[in-house]
């Protein structure tokens, strides 16, 4: 949680001069969404999950929610938003390396068509996307705990 916050705080500063939306993959209980809207006021934050199971105070507006399987909702977001995201945070990874690799193969190419040039991706699992540069973790975050990228 601390590593996630440190990465998102760093990323919020890194995109200060880059207009664009924020994508949160995995609403969960809404804690991260709540943090994002606090550190990025004024940004459109779009949130993805299979279902809404968040604290009532942390439920995004209906028109900012993409509900369903990520394999289906990301293509819908590509159609609706295009390559306009200044920041993507994905919290979909688990402790299962093989599942994370499958997830990365599934969402990487779709994210590549959503992240604006210069945009930042913060992920709790590794991603490998042509044209993205892997960035060092912010100070205090252990290597391999979180993964940061800048899109070309
Ligand atoms: N950051 C969140 C928070 O603040 O509570 C926690 C996210 S939780 C670890 C992961 C979320 O991703 C779960 O709510 C789960 O339903 C969603 N999720 C996982 N795999 C998914 C998939 N393939 N499609 C859509 N949602 C998915």
User: 57-114, pLDDT tens digit by residue?
Assistant: 999 999 999 999 999 999 999 999 999 999 999 999 999 999 999 999 999 999 999 9
Rounded Cα gap, residues 31 and 33, in angstroms? 5
Nearest-CA residue for atom 2 of ligand 1: 28
- Ligand 1 and 27: CB distance under 6 A: yes
Residue 1 pLDDT: 84
Residue 54 pLDDT: 98
Residue 6 pLDDT: 98
Tell which atom from ligand 1 comes closest to the C-alpha of 49: 26
For residue 1, give the 3-state DSSP assignment.
Answer: coil
- Ligand 1 and 58: CB distance under 6 A: no
- Ligand 1 and 26: CB distance under 6 A: yes
- Ligand 1 and 50: CB distance under 6 A: yes
21-25 and 85-90 as β-strands: parallel, antiparallel, unpaired? Answer: parallel
Please give the average per-residue pLDDT across 23-43, as a whole number.
Answer: 98
Q: 98's torsion region: left (phi>0), alpha (psi -120 to 50) or beta?
A: alpha
Question: Band of the pLDDT at 117, cuts 50, 70, 90?
Answer: very high
| Mean pLDDT of all residues belonging to the chain | 97
Lookup: tokens for 104: 């990365």
For residue 152, the CA-to-ligand 1 centroid distance in Å is 27
Tell which atom from ligand 1 comes closest to the C-alpha of 33: 4
Rounded Cα gap, residues 82 and 4, in angstroms? 26
Phi, psi of 130, deg, nearest 5: -60, 135
Q: How far is CA 82 from CA 31, 85, 125, in A?
A: 26, 8, 23
Nearest-CA residue for atom 26 of ligand 1: 49
Question: Band of the pLDDT at 12, cuts 50, 70, 90?
Answer: very high
């Amino acid at each position: 949680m601390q590593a996630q916050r440190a990465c998102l705080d760093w990323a919020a500063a890194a995109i200060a001069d880059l207009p664009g939306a924020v994508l949160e993959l995995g609403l969960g209980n809404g804690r991260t969404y709540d943090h994002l809207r606090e550190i990025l006021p004024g940004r459109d934050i779009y949130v993805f999950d299979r279902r809404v199971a968040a604290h009532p105070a942390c439920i995004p507006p209906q028109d900012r929610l993409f509900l369903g399987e990520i394999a289906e909702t990301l293509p819908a977001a590509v159609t609706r938003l295009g390559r306009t995201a200044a920041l993507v945070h994905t919290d979909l990874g688990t402790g299962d390396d093989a599942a994370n690799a499958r997830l990365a193969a599934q969402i990487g190419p779709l994210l590549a068509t959503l992240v604006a040039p210069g945009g930042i991706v913060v992920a709790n699992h590794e991603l490998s996307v042509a044209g993205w540069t892997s960035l060092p973790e912010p100070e205090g975050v252990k290597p391999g705990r979180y993964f940061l990228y800048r899109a070309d």
